[in-house]
Amino acid sequence: MTDNIENWEFATRAVRAGQVRTNEGEQGEPIFTTSSYVYASAAQAAARFSGAEPGNIYSRFTNPTVRTFEQRLAALEGGETCVATASGMAAILTTCLGLLKAGDHVVASRSIFGPTVLLFKNILGRFGVDTDFVALADTAAWEKAIRKQTRLLFLETPSNPLSELGDIAALATLAHDHGALLAVDNCFLTPAIQRPLALGADLVIHSATKYIDGQGRCVGGAVVGRKDLVGGDIYGILRTAGPSMSPFNAWVFLKGLETLSLRMQAHSAAALELAQWLEQQAPVERVYYAGLPSHPQHALARRQQSAGKSGFAAGGVLAFELKGGQPAAWRFIDALRVMSITANLGDTKSTVTHPATTTHGRITPEQRAAAGIRDGLVRIAVGLEDVDDLKRDLARGLAAL
């Protein structure tokens, strides 16, 4: 089945990579809901446990449905191997536990997912791993923060909610020049638009909860990269500590991957159309979306983001600032009738959030100002509804101001 997978185009890999049919000849991938496996003999059991014979042992670390998902995602990211985890946060934790030890140093973008900041600062900090946070787009600041003990550089690009970009190729070179690794959280663009490994990154991390699922059903995550890293110490943490993905969730994500490319193109096209429209509206002070030529890093976006044959794409998340601060933002949000007020993203259903009072509500006003999160900022994760209905919804919100 998978003999010449390297030659397959992205969409073919998305639909077919990793599938191994059973003797039943099923067309769709089965869900293996089993915790353990039986062996033909005591000798075979011993060979499995010692690793002399490959095969299933126990579903904390070997499950055929999970493995199919891992192989398919690895094929899409262009990585040698993949470890699936119970959530996106579990993927980041598993990666860090696999790679870092007390005394190690991490340089991370300051514009990463809130719980990721807390994981580095509060949790790994207690175990003697020190993290410095720098401005994502300022490659010189990354270089300045690197020390002799730096083992890992960590970023998300584009950032949430302001769509700042990190230069993956430049930061990969920087990491390697200093004997460190670069990990990229690729949740916002997915391999359908951005493939960090091809740009030099060592590890790609996913919250499969977002676009890989694509319909807001399951929580899961994954890390993709070389066999010596992901198949070694990172897999070792999964096997021993057990932050594993359930076979049912793996099956949902597997089905999500099959339509990922089409969905990311549709999310991106609608987001671009809405971003362009918002830029023309008087109550809107500024739009943040890397697909717009007015974005300060638009050229970088065009260099490192591409939806294959359909060309440049910038994903489904955009933000904009309304004149009139928080009262205006809340009035706008409360007037919407199509979009859901929720902080999730990557769903078929469009969502709207007010970052200053939700996702970024627990940091101080000074920290918020430093992060560029102003009170009039509204974030939209554009779903797959008809873009005309979404535009009418935004017009409804603006009319309420």
Ligand X SMILES: *Cc1c(COP(=O)(O)O)cnc(C)c1O
- Nearer to ligand X by Cβ, of 188 and 332: the residue is 188
Tell me which amino acid residue 294 is: S
User: How big is the site for ligand X, counted in residues (CB under 6 A)?
Assistant: 13
Site for ligand X in 354-383 (CB under 6 A): none
Binds ligand X (CB under 6 A): choice among 66, 74, 76, 89: 89
- Identity of the residue, 71 or 87, whose beta carbon is nearer to ligand X in the bound complex: 87
Name every residue whose Cβ is closer than 8 Å to that of residue 38 and which is 6 or more positions away in sequence: none
- Alpha-carbon span 124 to 118, nearest angstrom: 9
Nearest approach, Cβ of residue 176 and ligand X (Å): 24
Determine the residue with CB nearest ligand X.
88
Q: Which is nearer to ligand X, 194 or 207 (CB)?
A: 207
Tokens of 192: 């359908």
Smallest distance from the beta carbon of 80 to ligand X, in angstroms? 22
The answer to whether 221 contacts ligand X (rule: CB under 6 A) is yes
The whole-angstrom separation of Cα 295 and Cα 289 is: 7
Query: Pairing state of beta strands 181-185 and 150-156?
Result: parallel
CB-neighbour burial class of residue 36 (10 A; exposed 0-12, middle 13-18, buried 19+): exposed
Rounded to whole angstroms, the Cα distance separating 107 from 35 reads 38
Beta-bridge partners for 224 = 82, 204
Q: Are 41 and 187 in contact (CB under 8 A)?
A: no
Instruction: From residue 159, give the alpha-carbon distance in Å to each of 156, 164, 165, 191.
Output: 6, 5, 6, 16
The region of 85-93, 121-129, 194-202, 230-238 touching ligand X under the rule CB under 6 A is: 85-93
Residue list 30-69, contact with ligand X (CB under 6 A): none
* Cβ 202 to ligand X shortest distance, Å: 17
Among 183, 203, 219, 230, binds ligand X (CB under 6 A): 219
Q: How far, in Å, CA of 260 to CA of 28, rounded?
A: 17
Counting contacts by CB under 6 A, is residue 98 touching ligand X?
no
Which is closer to ligand X, CB of 328 or CB of 352? Answer: 352
Provide the terminal-to-terminal Cα distance of the chain, rounded to the nearest Å.
57
C-alpha 244/C-alpha 360 separation (Å) is 29
Residues numbered 112-131 forming contacts with ligand X, rule: CB under 6 A: 113, 116
246 contributes a contact to ligand X by CB under 6 A: no
Query: Which residues 191-210 are close enough to bind ligand X by CB under 6 A?
Result: 207, 209-210
State which residue, 88 or 376, has the beta carbon closest to ligand X.
88
Enumerate residues 148-167 that contact ligand X by CB under 6 A.
Answer: 156
Binding site for ligand X (CB under 6 A): 87-89, 113, 116, 156, 185, 187, 207, 209-210, 219, 221
